[in-house]
Structure 1
Amino acid sequence: YPLRRAKNINTFLAQASKVFPFHIDVISGQEEARLIYQGVAHYIHHDENRLVIDIGGGSTELIIGKHFKHKLLSSRNMGCVSYTKQFFADGIINEKRFNKAQIKAEQELEVIFANYISTGWQSVVGTSGTIKSILAMLSANDPDQKNITLERLLELKTQFLAAKTIDNLLIEGLSPERQVSICGGLAILIAIFQLFDITEMDYSDFSLREGLLHEMQQKLALKDIRTNTIANLSERNTIDKVHAQRVANTADWLFLQVQKEWQLDSLDNHQLLVWAAQLHEVGLGINSSGLHKHSAYVVENSQLPGFTQQQQTLLSCMIRFYRKRIRLEESPTLLSVP
């Protein structure tokens, strides 16, 4: 299951930070989807819309984009591990269980179906270990099999049903590590193919890791996507940019005056303060009364490409408490952010 869905995630991160020598960032499902697409886009080039699919252990990401720009992002709460535990917990494989898993996956996808069909795509690319394992099984006896089709997926499903149990899934191309969770992954992939009427899918080894590496390279080159995210959010909410920048400049000056004395060494937190100041009136379109609360709500619940969950929480809290007394009980998640 994704760490981001854990109820005690911030408690875990606080404890982990005491023993782990590196900072831990937890990304949202939307951010994971964006990074997956960037990983594919920077290594595989298409001139038309493409649908990218990544089936993980606890979530499945679906992205439509063109060149380096995504158009639609979605992360659904269904994965090979979670679905195998839900529908094949005792290791028994049969038609009824497969159908239940596929129906559940289709229901999970219904909410995005209309927008994705309306946007459309001309090619489909699959990533992740689950899809790689499925392709390995399909091509084990056919080296010329370079892509995945619905027909071959249904043939593979028949092989799974014939095995009757997960322990008996001794199929060439399937590793022991993947064997225990592959049933849920196959059910999800068949559901996606059938619901979106996909005829064939190519595979890419490039995914989240490559997208993250590219993002880090961009930051080192001072091309932080978060700057564009803040600018776009400001633009969409018609913020008084001149006033917002005056407030940001003041916050920046105050930070520098106390930075040494208060031992404020985090450059990232310094930048978050400046961005919070730039967005402090982002909720003005809702109501001028209780502006700080409305602005914090907008920031907390918006899609902010480039920001981790912790960064988005801190950004929202700085805006929430820039006026009046700080009431930490109103933001319990802030108390456990490491």
Structure 2
Amino acid sequence: MTAAVIDLGTNTFHLIIARISAAEIEVIYKTNLPVKLGEGKINENLIIPEAFERGLEALKGFNETIKQHDVSIVKAIATSAIRSASNGVDFVKAAKEQAGIAIDVISGDEEAAYIYKGVKATGAITGSALIMDIGGGSTEFILCDSQAVFWKKSYNIGAARLHQAYFNSDPINAPDQAAIVDRIARELTDLKEACALYKPEHLIGSAGAFETFAGMVDGETNIKQVRSAPIEREGYETLSKKLIASSHAEREVMPGLIKLRVDMIVIAAILTNYVLDISGISKMSLSTYDLKMGVLYSLTELERG
């Protein structure tokens, strides 16, 4: 069968179309649009009118593309921005009526489960690992090995939420950094306990900011051509310090840093640094497979019957 998966993220809407058999997944089309659904009032749990309309227009375009590919099943998955928004139900209704897209609003726990399936499919999990997926609205953590999930949780500390709440200086100053770290520390107390219990040896970052980290640390890595790639720890630490110390204007011209992540990458670096610190992990990797591929692999399981 041919399947389409739409990931309605807080910052970006993604569309991926693939031919699925019991044996393999062949991606035949993918695109994304910087919808910025969480713009302005994500911490007030509201999709502002401008973002609401951008989201609908993106879905209308996606539906036209889907019609061109003889798709037999469409899975549109909404995560933090829509599930927490007071008008999220209105957006889901409008998407069905105006764009012909039926949206499944999933829980943070379901989101983490899909992320695990996607990352597992890369073969990057070779021992005890901590998977981290930094979204705009939420961040997911999964403690696992290649056979099972030991612990997983989604937290409302996505990059867009933290950015809107605490990023008030340029470059980000020490008080703003301290406020972010304090918020992260209060939120992640049980993650710290879980890491002490399961002792992960490997941090695997799922797509997003980690694609930027990997690409900027190793400029020769073509992220679009790999399922996973190592992120050299010393190189990451140097990059992290540079990103946090830089101004918006300086980051805008850094090679490998896309416009959508010019500010969000600072939050991602602060969050990643904190997780590395509390977990004691020294090994880092990127998985280019994330929730979208996890949904596709779930459909593969259905094909197997």
Q: Describe the SS at the equivalent of 1:126.
A: strand
Q: Describe the SS at the equivalent of 2:274.
A: helix
Shift of 1:142: 9.8
CA shift digits 1:226-258 (9 cap, x unpaired): xxxxxxxxxxxxxxxxxxxxxxxxxxxxxxxxx
Residue 327 of structure 1 corresponds to none
Counterpart residue type for residue 119 of structure 2: V
CA distance in 2, matches of 1:119, 1:162: 33
1:213 aligns with 2:292: no
Residue 173 of structure 1 corresponds to 256
1:180-219 to 2 correspondence within 5 Å? 180-219=263-302
CA distance in 1, matches of 2:255, 2:268: 17
Answer yes or no: is the 8 Å Cα contact 2:143–2:152 preserved in 1. yes
Residue 97 of structure 2 corresponds to 18
Change (3 A) 1:201 1:130: same
Counterpart residue type for residue 111 of structure 2: E
Q: Count matched residues.
A: 219
Counterpart residue type for residue 267 of structure 2: G
CA distance in 2, matches of 1:190, 1:22: 38
Q: Describe the SS at the equivalent of 1:74.
A: strand
Greater share of strand? 2
1:59-78 to 2 correspondence within 5 Å? 59-78=138-157
Greater share of helix? 1
Shift of 1:199: 1.2
Answer yes or no: is the 8 Å Cα contact 2:171–2:245 preserved in 1. no
Shift of 1:155: 2.4
CA shift digits 1:177-215 (9 cap, x unpaired): 211321111111111111112212111111111110011
Residue 202 of structure 2 corresponds to 123
Residue 160 of structure 2 corresponds to 81
TM, length-normalised to structure 2: 0.65
Counterpart residue type for residue 168 of structure 1: E
Change (3 A) 1:13 1:183: same
Shift of 1:18: 1.0
Answer yes or no: is the 8 Å Cα contact 1:88–1:183 preserved in 2. no
Q: Describe the SS at the equivalent of 2:272.
A: helix
Residue 7 of structure 1 corresponds to 86
Which of 129-138 and 81-90 deviates more?
81-90
Q: Describe the SS at the equivalent of 2:288.
A: coil
Change (3 A) 1:161 1:42: closer
Counterpart residue type for residue 104 of structure 2: D
Residue 190 of structure 2 corresponds to 111
Change (3 A) 1:185 1:49: same
1:147 aligns with 2:235: no
CA distance in 2, matches of 1:63, 1:168: 34
TM, length-normalised to structure 1: 0.59
Unaligned runs of 5+ in 1: 223-338
CA distance in 2, matches of 1:24, 1:153: 37
Shift of 1:97: 2.0
CA distance in 1, matches of 2:262, 2:154: 24
Counterpart residue type for residue 177 of structure 2: F
Shift of 1:45: 5.2
CA shift digits 1:82-134 (9 cap, x unpaired): 22222224544223322322232222111232123212223221112111112
CA distance in 2, matches of 1:27, 1:142: 33
Residue 40 of structure 2 corresponds to none
Q: Aligned-residue CA RMSD in angstroms? A: 2.4
CA distance in 2, matches of 1:37, 1:31: 10
Percent identical across equivalent pairs?
A: 24
Q: Describe the SS at the equivalent of 1:43.
A: coil
Shift of 1:162: 4.2
Counterpart residue type for residue 204 of structure 1: S
1:288-299 to 2 correspondence within 5 Å? none
Shift >3 Å, 4+ stretches: 89-92, 140-143, 151-154
**Bigger Rg over Cα:** 1
Counterpart residue type for residue 56 of structure 1: G
Unaligned runs of 5+ in 2: 1-9, 11-79, 223-228
Residue 43 of structure 1 corresponds to 122
1:241-320 to 2 correspondence within 5 Å? none
Shift of 1:161: 4.7
Answer yes or no: is the 8 Å Cα contact 1:153–1:190 preserved in 2. no
Shift of 1:7: 1.8
CA distance in 2, matches of 1:62, 1:27: 16
Counterpart residue type for residue 179 of structure 1: V
